[in-house]
Amino acid sequence: MRKVLVTGATGGIGRAICSELAEDTHLLVGGRDPEKVTELVASLPSAEPFIVDLTDESALENACAQISELDGLIHNAGIAFVKSVLETSHTDWEQMFALNVISTADLTRQLLPVLRKAKGQVIFINSGAGLKASPGWAAYAASKFALRAFADSLREEERGKVRVSSIHPGRVDTQMQVAIQASMDRPYDPGEHLQPSSVAKAVRAVLDASAEAFIGSLSIAPLI
């Protein structure tokens, strides 16, 4: 049974990924909230907790040291907010990049040796904002463009050793998306968004690619 770590596993997309993979995958359930992580682990047939603040360099290093084998790493944790450039503070920029980029790079670096041994896969859950920036999304889009650049470089560095993929979902029906739309004073219609399960199915398609192939980049968007 393959072993896969999912960060941000207790959120909407993370839970959907865990549910999609649960039948044939041993899951490392990543999150900061012990109660939520424990609850999700208990609901899965084969899982264990990976409880750590990804932005805490020392804690992350200690947590990764406990992992001796791994077939897949799914970077799903992240934050998002909508602010104009004028409204976005120095701290906002630091927080956005700390979780969306720097911690992702740190976690990847820590786990590359075990992923190489397994000829494993790294999947970045990026965003449509990692392909095109819009007004109000400067900080978020900048972090996702940076994440795409990181994934592209990693893919070429690890070619033949570790498969690297980026998935770019459009709007997804999650609590994060509800909060984003509320911050812009927009009415929320779930029917205008992707379901988390659709993103999870895209993750499975990438993970299940045959051994001689990989999906470098995949964009998935709502019809409306």
Q: Active-site residues: which are they?
A: 140
The DSSP result for the chain, as a single string, is -EEEEETTTTSHHHHHHHHHHTTTEEEEEEES-HHHHHHHHHHSSSEEEEE--TT-HHHHHHHHTT----SEEEE---------TTT--HHHHHHHHIIIIIHHHHHHHHHHHHHHHHT-EEEEE--GGGT---TT-HHHHHHHHHHHHHHHHHHHHTTTTSEEEEEEE-SB-SHHHHHHHHHTT----GGGSB-HHHHHHHHHHHHTS-TT----EEEE----
Question: Which two three-digit tokens encode residue 101?
Answer: 């980029």
Alpha-carbon gap, residue 168 to 161, rounded angstroms: 23
Under 8 Å between Cβ of 194 and 220: yes
